[in-house]
Amino acid sequence: MNDQPEQDSPEPPTGHGVIQGYLKSLDASPGVYRMLDAQARVLYVGKARALRARVSSYARPTGHSPRISRMIAATASMMFLTTRTETEALLLEQNLIKQLKPKYNVLLRDDKSFPNILVAKDQAFPQIKKHRGAKKQKGAYFGPFASAGAVNRTLNQLQKAFLLRNCSDPMFESRTRPCLLYQIRRCSAPCVGKISEEGYGLAVRDAELFLSGRSTKVQEDLAAQMQMASDAMEFERAAALRDRIRALTQVQGAQGINPRNVSEADVIALHMDTGQACVQVFFIRAGQNWGNHDYYPRAGTDFSAAEVMEAFLGQFYDTKEPPRQIILSDGIENDDLMADALSQKAGRKVEILVPQRGEKADLVAGALRNARESLARRMSESATQARLLRGLAEAFSLDGPPTRIEVYDNSHIQGAHAVGAMIVAGPDGFIKNAYRKFNIKGVDLTPGDDFGMMKEVLGRRFSRLLKEDPDRNKGLWPDLLLIDGGAGQVSVVAEIMGQHGVQDIPMVGVAKGVDRDAGKEEFHRPGQRAFALRHNDPVLYFVQRLRDEAHRFAIGTHRAKRSKAIGATPLDEVPGVGATRKRALLAHFGSAKAVSRADLKDLKAVDGVSGALADTIYDFFHDKG
């Protein structure tokens, strides 16, 4: 009998020797390779024109940068995918980087979609509005715009200039008299016949011409109409046309940069400083500047500008349609390959340019100045944030500055439409793509039971974490929990954490104090006495800001849920009745109640409602028993 203790299984070998072992099974095919550590976590994803030649460069024991040396030393295994062409390898590489987020790749951390302006064409009097997401609705789309603010400013001026409606279809169909927008000359009130379909159509055409870059023609036509109205002594009409011309001029003025010889391009400039990077993107469409957006890809001190720029382009355009020209501040190593990949994606030619002089170079210089200033601000803010996180660690006796803080709050009105909210903050500030909302599902909860709601929210959160990241190696687990509440909430959360076996995460309850005044907050920790911070302590202000952001997010989520519930009707539950048929039924009968009382013959008379659907609707409201 062997009484010796069991030995732990040895760690698998790592390093260039492991990589060397793969060379005999590789050939000169193009493809993508992955380097994995001993726990099978992906360290790096790369593409190669010839896999064997590329991988052999990692098999050498010397001649690497510090970053590559660390990566090779941690590599325990590799995976390979061959492709038909190097272009396919480039597309696959960038897709895998976005999915897997490897430690040693340049990584684009903020990859949101951009809004467009939609001139909807599914009605006789088209609506003009902001649109984000898939372009499924019938109409003309103009964009992308860099932000919702850029769209809203443009829409605001376009309403003044062209008087197009922005109300929803149900509101448009139910109007019996003009709304306030007509009174303040922001809409021509087609809902009540204040303008003919032909006249409205001309305004829509002018708006589309302007958004297509033919603003000069629109303004010339309006100026000619204004002169004719003035000559005919129609001074009120002339004044209205003058106001429309001014509104268009204001749109152009707000855009700042309106290039003469660049009609469709993204201007992309990169600035790097001490291992940090900022990429500034300006959207030029229809010869107009439709805003700019800054990005802060994860890089490092030994990445070159060409590497960061190429990685950014591949990941940025993975889910976005590239324009006809991409104008860069820094060249990339595989510019022909990237242009070919983006051309395939767009189904047309895409040019990549690095201008040295002229208007395009001036555009790059402006974008580069923005990138430099944005990075300086961010680095200053990051230094402040780092000091606050160190202060937070000291105040709450943490092992070190937290890298992921989760803050929880609930919102409801007497228990109705209850939601829980979680916001996340870290060294770079608020991490908004990590925010989560929780619709309270507990049917046995007493309305307004804050303890029960917090128990449900945290229970669901920890159950999900244990399922998605049981080994805590994906960066999803918090270093600190902040709970809106005092000793009672802290006790409830501690109970839930105990049930899930996660008592090692620090947790603090933030209570308003006896007078419920900001600045008199008390902090509660499990099994310890409550304490407070100095009234002017920067850490106190930091915690207040975190709590206020959680409260703002919770309130917004609650209001959205309440609005949706208020707008709901029994028609939402009828099989086969979508948004279009719902609008048709409400327009025909006036209310959901009237639909429920309608007989079969009247239901069949509604435009778009077939005989079979009429039977379904009638049965839904009359066969409840």
pLDDT at 514: 60
Report pLDDT digits (tens) over 34-50.
999 998 899 999 999 99
Q: Provide block-wise average pLDDT over 10 residues at a time, the chain (625 residues).
A: 52 86 92 93 93 92 89 94 92 90 87 84 86 85 85 83 84 84 87 89 85 72 79 76 71 59 92 91 87 88 90 90 94 92 92 93 93 90 90 92 92 68 91 88 66 87 90 87 89 91 91 65 89 88 91 83 63 77 80 82 86 85 62
In angstroms, how far is CA 432 from the centroid of its own chain?
8
pLDDT at 360: 92
What is the rounded end-to-end Cα distance, in angstroms, of the chain? Answer: 75
State pTM to two decimals: 0.72
Report pLDDT digits (tens) over 472-502.
877 889 999 999 888 888 999 999 999 998 8
Main-chain dihedrals φ then ψ at residue 290, nearest 5 degrees: -105, 35
Residue pair 409/550 in contact (Cβ under 8 Å)? The answer is: yes
pLDDT at 424: 95
If DSSP states are collapsed to H, E and C, what string results for 35-74? EECCCCCEEEEEEECCHHHHHHHHCCCCCCCHHHHHHHHH
Provide CB contacts within 8 A for 606, sequence distance 6+.
Answer: 584, 585, 588, 589, 614
Residue pair 584/571 in contact (Cβ under 8 Å)? The answer is: no
Q: Distance between CA 507 and CA 480 in Å, rounded?
A: 6
**ω into 259 cis (within 30 of 0):** no
Provide CB contacts within 8 A for 200, sequence distance 6+.
Answer: 125, 126, 164, 188, 190
Provide CB contacts within 8 A for 589, sequence distance 6+.
Answer: 595, 598, 602, 606
Q: Distance between CA 431 and CA 425 in Å, rounded?
A: 5
Q: Distance between CA 110 and CA 128 in Å, rounded?
A: 28
Q: Distance between CA 155 and CA 187 in Å, rounded?
A: 12
In 3D space, the residue among 144, 175, 185 whose CA is nearest the CA of residue 320 turns out to be: 144
Q: Distance between CA 79 and CA 95 in Å, rounded?
A: 16
pLDDT at 577: 81
pLDDT at 565: 59
H helix and E strand count, the chain:
20, 18
pLDDT at 145: 86
* Pairing mode, strands 405-413 and 480-484: parallel
Q: Distance between CA 139 and CA 204 in Å, rounded?
A: 11
**Domains observed in the chain:** 16-100 (3.40.1440.10), 116-255 (no CATH), 264-377 (3.30.420), 405-565 (3.30.420.340), 570-622 (1.10.150.20)
* Pairing mode, strands 351-353 and 405-413: unpaired
For the beta carbon of residue 84, count every other beta carbon within 10 angstroms: 10
In angstroms, how far is CA 314 from the centroid of its own chain?
18
Q: Distance between CA 484 and CA 509 in Å, rounded?
A: 6
State which H helix or E strand residue 42 sits in: strand 42-48
State which H helix or E strand residue 141 sits in: strand 139-142
Q: Distance between CA 457 and CA 502 in Å, rounded?
A: 15
Provide CB contacts within 8 A for 3, sequence distance 6+.
Answer: none
pLDDT at 392: 93
3-class DSSP state of 516: coil
* Pairing mode, strands 429-430 and 139-142: unpaired
Q: For residue 513, which amino acid is it?
A: G
Q: Distance between CA 159 and CA 207 in Å, rounded?
A: 9
